[in-house]
Amino acid sequence: QSWDAALAKTAKAWAKKCKFKHNIYLKVPRKVHPTFTPVGENIWTGTATIFSVDAALSDWFNEVSRYDFNTHSCSHVCGHYTQVVWAESYKVGCAVHFCNTVENMPGFFKVAHFVCNYGPAGNYPRKPYKAGQPCSGC
């Protein structure tokens, strides 16, 4: 994936709202990006003092343990993982905003609210990639 400034701008605008929910405009043509509709999104919210991009990406990627490629099913939440590794998503833009509180996250104060947007969006109902040797389909 390569960086996309427009996706990062959308991620920042949404992160600044300090809401733990997905951007309501992701499926509206040209509302969040001039090219991609829909746009994929991952959100990570946690204590500001422990935030790092690496930690957030690791949390999302570690959902791999909940995903069964053969049955294309999850034992628990795994959509962050599948979006991160989605073969057809080739652009990404992320941003963090530090919030005193976050809507829909009671008990969390002084948090880092990290949002990544992906273009084009990935996720169900298809599998995130084709099985095979790394980059054999590149």
pLDDT in tens, 56-87: 999 999 999 999 999 999 999 999 999 999 99
Q: In the CATH scheme, what architecture does the domain 2-119 have?
A: 3-Layer(aba) Sandwich (3.40)
Question: Which pLDDT value is given to residue 114?
Answer: 98
For the chain, helix (H) and strand (E) counts, in that order, are 3, 6
Sign of CA dihedral 58, 60, 66, 69: negative
> Domain residues of the chain, as ranges?
2-119
Cβ proximity of 16 and 9 under 8 Å: no
* Whether the predicted model's global pTM rises above the 0.75 cut: yes
Sign of CA dihedral 44, 47, 52, 55: negative
**Sites in the chain below the pLDDT cut of 70:** none
Question: Which pLDDT value is given to residue 126?
Answer: 86
